[in-house]
Amino acid sequence: MKYPNSGKVYVKPNVSASNRGMSLEEDINRTNQYYLSEDIAVIHKKPTPITIVKVDYPKRSAAKITEAYFKLPSTTDYNGIFKGRYIDFEAKECESNTSFPFSSIHAHQIEHLRSVLKQGAIAFIILRMVNYDKDFLIKADDFIAFYDRKERKSLPYSWIEEHGFVIGKSYIKPCDYLSIVTEAFEV
């Protein structure tokens, strides 16, 4: 990830994992679609935040954005409602075998997780350890407690294995995180 001098825009990392099948985002979106169709939960990914600079309004056709930039997100990417509870999470793919670097999560997003926890949210991180082919759910309060100790700049894989909950998958629910939410948060 590259932060240019302005500090206001950033180069969006390419998180697609097309070489190894579906990306985590696609898997979560498909699972959310299933949850929605079965009235299990209503959870959506937020649109990518951008700053629009220029828009053309051609006659008889759709408005065309001709200049826009990616903005740093001020919240996590996903939120919604499940069994009457507010759900909030961030999803990340991690290519390393040994640890998940904190630099992959923006400071604003960690502050956002703190804020929603204060309000009683069910908040967590979904972490795909790409090389292990495993998805983990990590409770936001566990993550923040470790982060706040400031002893390390990443979550070691051993910590992830100890504190994370492995998320199951099936064809219709390629990232069935709500089964884990029920267990981990006793909802």
Positions touching a copy of itself (CB under 8 A) are 4, 6, 9-12, 36, 39, 41-42, 44, 46-50, 52, 57, 60-71, 74-75, 79-86, 88, 112, 115-116, 118-121
CB of 67 to a copy of itself, least distance (A): 7
CB of 112 to a copy of itself, least distance (A): 7
* C-beta atoms surrounding 65 within 10 Å: 12
Cα–Cα distance between 179 and 92 in angstroms, integer? 19
CA-closest candidate to residue 100, choices 165, 156, 19: 156
DSSP per-residue string spanning 57-70: --TTS--EEEEEEE
Closer to a copy of itself by Cβ: residue 82 or 100: 82
Closer to a copy of itself by Cβ: residue 15 or 68: 68
CB of 182 to a copy of itself, least distance (A): 14
Closer to a copy of itself by Cβ: residue 20 or 118: 118
Closer to a copy of itself by Cβ: residue 39 or 162: 39
Cα–Cα distance between 75 and 106 in angstroms, integer? 9
CA-closest candidate to residue 46, choices 93, 2, 16, 87: 87
